[in-house]
Amino acid sequence: MEEWQKKHILGIKDFSRQEIETVLSLADSFKEISEREVKKVPALRGKTIVNLFFEYSTRTRTSFELAAKRLSADVVNFSFSTSSLTKGETIVDTIKNLEAYHPDIMIMRIGVGACLKSFSQYTQASLINAGDGNNEHPTQALLDMFTVKEIKGTLENLNVLIVGDIAHSRVARSNIFGFQKFSSNITVCGPTSLIPYEFEKIGVKVSNDFDKEIESADIIMMLRIQKERQGATFFPTLREYVDRFSLTPQRLKKAKKDSLVMHPGPVNWDVEISSSLKEKVHPLILKQAENGLAIRMAALYLVGTKKREI
């Protein structure tokens, strides 16, 4: 295995195909640890890992926390409300103050995008992006790819269909950058008003026709829709959104028999996916979450054991 080069994990944009494969193969080994009696290995013993969350999230934060603890690291959690971004102590000051703890890794989630690279200059720690605005959520995409690989055996030449609020989805972006590196065909499908400007330039097919695209999809990735979006004039009503872009039993019938339905969670049943499909699709969605832990352990392991430059 080649030496892991990245100090930070900020986005799949910066990952090579090789690097993605490294994380996925490591995650396999880490999955086994969760099945042991003693669910702990000493790989990151004594490392200090800080969860610095400026956006509310229990799931991702807990996932990272548990991943860190299973690697024997010490974890500290800092949660700030979104409003504190502009009031009170600045993020830069917060990061600088945290340096007193000599953190080895900082896991950050923040409601605005593309700012983590700027913040990395204020700390010696490795930064892992747990979601920055609409930009990227690298560990989510990695766990999605890991899940697909587990079941399909490959990431090559798959037809990936991503459905929903593409414009505001960091999950969509990270997955697009990831699957692209494996020559998969990616289609994004959603209301035109929620497809970003000139998005085809990123290398995806753009569509508004869920019924048509679902027929050829190997992977159907449903995205969360924030109910508040309808207030911002992107689409008139939730009803109309659901009518065109919800995964209903009728639509699913058109899909390939072995297609996978995925969702980053938590699911808004009867908005993104009909609740009548719950029994059928929920198991894989839960598996995604389980894989998330292994992926995050792999991510922490790789940056946490990286040779420190003096």
Q: Is 258 in the site for other proteins (CB under 8 A)?
A: no
Q: Is 25 in the site for other proteins (CB under 8 A)?
A: yes
Nearer of residues 1 and 257 to other proteins, judged by Cβ: 1
Q: Is 112 in the site for other proteins (CB under 8 A)?
A: yes
Q: Specify the DSSP element, H or E, that contains 74.
A: strand 74-79
As a three-state string, the secondary structure of 12-32 is: HHHCCHHHHHHHHHHHHHHHH
The nearest distance, CB 33 to other proteins, in angstroms, is 8
Three-class DSSP category at 191: coil
Of 113-121, 142-150, 151-159, 274-282, the window that binds other proteins (rule: CB under 8 A) is: 113-121
**What per-residue string of b and e applies to 187-218 under the rule 16 or more CB within 10 Å gives b?**
bbbbbeebbbeebeeeebebbeebeebbeebb
Other CB atoms within 10 Å distance of the CB of residue 114: 13
What residues from 210 to 229 belong to the interface with other proteins (CB under 8 A)?
none
Three-class DSSP category at 208: coil
Among residues 16, 17, 18, 36, the one that binds other proteins under rule CB under 8 A: 36
Nearer of residues 13 and 212 to other proteins, judged by Cβ: 13
Q: How far apart are CA 141 and CA 154, in angstroms?
A: 15
Q: Which residues bind other proteins (CB under 8 A)?
A: 1-4, 13, 25-26, 29-30, 32-33, 36-38, 40-43, 71, 85-86, 90-92, 110, 112-115, 117-119, 133-135, 167-170, 173, 196-199, 201-202, 301-302, 305-308
